Structure 1
Amino acid sequence: MMLDKLRQYAGLESPTGDSRALAALAEVLEADAAEAGFATAREGGHLLWTLPARGVTGGELLLLSHYDTVWPVGTLASMPFTVDGDTVRGPGVYDTKAGLVALLAAVTRLRGTDQDHPEVRVVVAADEEIGSPTAGDLVRAEAVRAAAVLGMEPPHPGGDLKTGRRGSTRARIEVTGVEAHAALDPDAGVNAIDELVDQLVRVRALVEGRPVLLNAGTIAGGGRTNVVAGHARADLGLRFVSLDDERAVLGALDGLTPVRERAALTTTLLAHRPTWREAEPTTGLLARIVAVAAGIGQTLDGHPADGAADTNTTGAMGRPTVDGLAPPGGGAHARHEWVSVQGIADRTDLLEALITGLKA
């Protein structure tokens, strides 16, 4: 049954930004959530599910997931859904549609029992893979009322959970220059591409000597070789392990000024997830999760991760947060992406136990 659901979800390809594709999967997910016992609602393209409390007051549990993937529509033609023993392959199966399967299966089981549990809220974001630029406010609003936050992102290799994450920022530098004929009157122009190159050298110097990852992901500008370029831009990816470095680098980035007279420069944060440092609220929650897992015969541990997710936001807010509750596998954002069949079953058991066992 769970593999059938995963096949269905993977078959509904859902790349970030493709509103038609996302809507098709959202309809199926909402129907399945309602059947499992959730009340469903939408905030824009984001799905918000609520499981009313049973026999428990307070201590709301917030789960964070997403239904967008990095894979464009049509990927299934060259990367089909397959099951080979314990290995399931296909676009989005690991990151993170198997997590949705396990969560819905766990709540469906609870519907047929009399076990007490707190109110469970689930945010299923539509734009997590690009930094949740529109889901961030919803995540923050839900986190304020939550006693604990569980992230439904994939775990570390082997299944261990995630107790901290690098800060992650997508930034854009845009330069406006002055067009002119590149041969007849070059001094009348201001080359936006040249200005951008010099700004990128400055940015590289900003992070030198710091434990900061900087990636110039895209660059665009200009048009013709006989025209001094009037526009150029670069999109940067930045990853931080320190809040001090994050503040220093982003502050300096915001303060960049043109090297050339008559050039104009703007910097914009396209998406920002703050650094989540492992702290007592998280270590305390991890200890409770480890104890619940041990009670059903599962061994777990947790440690920080390099990647970013919506749990950056809740962890940085000081909310007790642990991520990596989706089933184990590998190959996130890679063509060999896979998830474990047994892992889906084990995570379903764990999620059911956590919903009933993390009562405040």
Structure 2
Amino acid sequence: MNTTAATAATATTATAALPGLPRTLTTRARTLAAAVRKRCADLAGIESPSGDAARLDALAEELAAGYAATGATAVRRRCDHGDHLVLDWPGQQEDLPHLLVVGHHDTVWPVGTLADWPIEERDGRLTGPGILDMKGGLALLEGAFALLADLGQRPHRPVRMVIVSDEEIGSPDGRSLVERHLRGAAAVLGLEPGHPDGRLKTARRGSTRIRLTVTGREAHAGNDAVDGVSAIDELVDQLITVRGLTRQPGTELNTGRIDGGTRANVVAGHAEAELGLRFATTEAQRRTLDNLAHLTANRPGADVRTEVLSSRPAWPERTGNPLLRHVRSLAAALGQHLDGAPAGGAGDTNLAGARGLPTLDGLGAVGAGPHARHEHLRVDQLGPRIALLAALLAVPLPRLRDR
């Protein structure tokens, strides 16, 4: 049997227990798309940069209310830089392991961005800060649950969702919450945006944020320069060393922030840089971090310190991938063509994928430009994504791994 025929056969099997469901989901999802589009815009209108606890908590409250209207129970998990959310929906078969969905409600955009970049739709593209990453994904799942509720249906198994407030800075606090709820999960789904062409994400690189701190000695830059030790000069040299250490296959470096010194006439006594590293393999991650942990100063009197701020393991591509086959079959039953591919970014699904749990990401909105000023989602893809998510919730999962 060829691949197309096999997918079609699997699609028929996947929805056989729910006659007529694909057509009903597709039709109803088209009707709901306008409301979900508005919800995307409304959520993006609540600015929620990482670290802004008040704004993140306001958005968490709004999200909890929206999901509660679809039958969820919501619990806030306290965090100083913004509360996390844990939501639970009952399933038709409560004795089954839960389906875990992971998401986040923080964005990379500072407060005030909306003042010169308002949310608007142009040529079928809804644009605005955080609209794709990932206010759109949060709205889509709410729409999927609303669709099932409208049809008088519940998910096949219990569904749990963890929404963290610090994903965009590596989930330094949220990581432990996600890991806690990985235990016992049948599968893990991520609401990050898909690839620009709509494909899902089947693997993701590991990532680590590092703060490189240099301490020198201040002195008058004109009269007593010889008595000083420039932390900035030392940091520049260290960054050149770091670039050399990370110039290897499977490793990428981004120097995201540099700060230091006080005045032009003062030898800098302090300087620091924040580095973003990405790794194709766990071995590349281990080797690089070990090298960076042993940096030494070039200048007498200078001190160099490396601090890991957050880290996620690499989630490698795996052959077979029965969860992707299942989702492709559901998409085919809905009249959609869908596939998956590895992604360059990292996220909280790395925590599940690295453990070998059945995991897929990219089930959020379809669009392009996350973290950039052209960030947008495609309005015409809201309906298909709502239908796909609803099918994933309603249709029984196949056997995804050996018992």
Same fold (TM over 0.5): yes
Listed as ranges, the gaps of 5+ residues in structure 1 are none
Q: Deviations over 1:230-269 (max 9, x none)?
A: 1111111111112211111111111112222322221111
Code of the residue aligned with 1:149 in structure 2: it is V
SS at match of 1:69: coil
Map residues 59-138 of structure 1 onto 2, 5 A cutoff: 59-84=97-122, 86-112=124-150, 113-115=152-154, 117-138=156-177
Map residues 156-305 of structure 1 onto 2, 5 A cutoff: 156-280=195-319, 283-305=321-343
C-alpha contact (below 8 Å) 1:56/1:359 kept by paired residues: no
Cα deviation, residue 152, structure 1: 0.3
CA distance in 2, matches of 1:3, 1:10: 11
Percent of residue pairs identical: 47
Are the structure 2 counterparts of residues 179 and 119 from structure 1 closer, same or farther at C-alpha, using a change threshold of 3 Å?
same
C-alpha contact (below 8 Å) 1:163/1:322 kept by paired residues: yes
SS at match of 2:383: helix
C-alpha contact (below 8 Å) 1:56/1:116 kept by paired residues: no
1:53 paired with 2:91, answer yes
Which of the numbers 178, 181, 188 marks the counterpart of 1:142? Answer: 181
Most deviating of 205-214 and 233-242: 205-214
CA distance in 1, matches of 2:153, 2:366: 29
CA distance in 1, matches of 2:348, 2:155: 28
Q: State the TM-score, normalizing by the size of structure 2.
A: 0.85
Aligned to 1:359: 397
Aligned to 1:34: 68
Listed as ranges, the gaps of 5+ residues in structure 2 are 1-34, 399-403
Which of the numbers 45, 62, 68 marks the counterpart of 1:11? Answer: 45
Code of the residue aligned with 1:109 in structure 2: it is L
Which of the numbers 354, 372, 378 marks the counterpart of 1:334? Answer: 372
Q: State the TM-score, normalizing by the size of structure 1.
A: 0.95
SS at match of 1:159: coil
Code of the residue aligned with 2:208 in structure 1: it is T
Root-mean-square deviation (CA, aligned residues, Å) is 1.7
Number of aligned pairs? Answer: 359
Code of the residue aligned with 1:42 in structure 2: it is R
Aligned to 2:21: none
CA distance in 2, matches of 1:286, 1:251: 35
Code of the residue aligned with 2:258 in structure 1: it is I
Cα deviation, residue 115, structure 1: 5.0
C-alpha contact (below 8 Å) 2:91/2:154 kept by paired residues: no
C-alpha contact (below 8 Å) 1:59/1:359 kept by paired residues: no
Code of the residue aligned with 1:217 in structure 2: it is G
Aligned to 2:32: none
Most deviating of 50-59 and 337-346: 50-59
Cα deviation, residue 185, structure 1: 3.3
C-alpha contact (below 8 Å) 2:48/2:56 kept by paired residues: yes
CA distance in 1, matches of 2:104, 2:84: 8
Cα deviation, residue 303, structure 1: 0.7
SS at match of 1:170: strand
Which of the numbers 336, 351, 360 marks the counterpart of 1:322? Answer: 360
1:20 paired with 2:54, answer yes
C-alpha contact (below 8 Å) 1:179/1:189 kept by paired residues: yes
Cα deviation, residue 174, structure 1: 0.5
Are the structure 2 counterparts of residues 22 and 183 from structure 1 closer, same or farther at C-alpha, using a change threshold of 3 Å?
same
SS at match of 1:13: coil
CA distance in 1, matches of 2:41, 2:244: 47
CA distance in 1, matches of 2:309, 2:267: 28
SS at match of 1:36: coil
Cα deviation, residue 100, structure 1: 1.1
Cα deviation, residue 64, structure 1: 0.9
SS at match of 1:64: strand
Cα deviation, residue 56, structure 1: 4.7
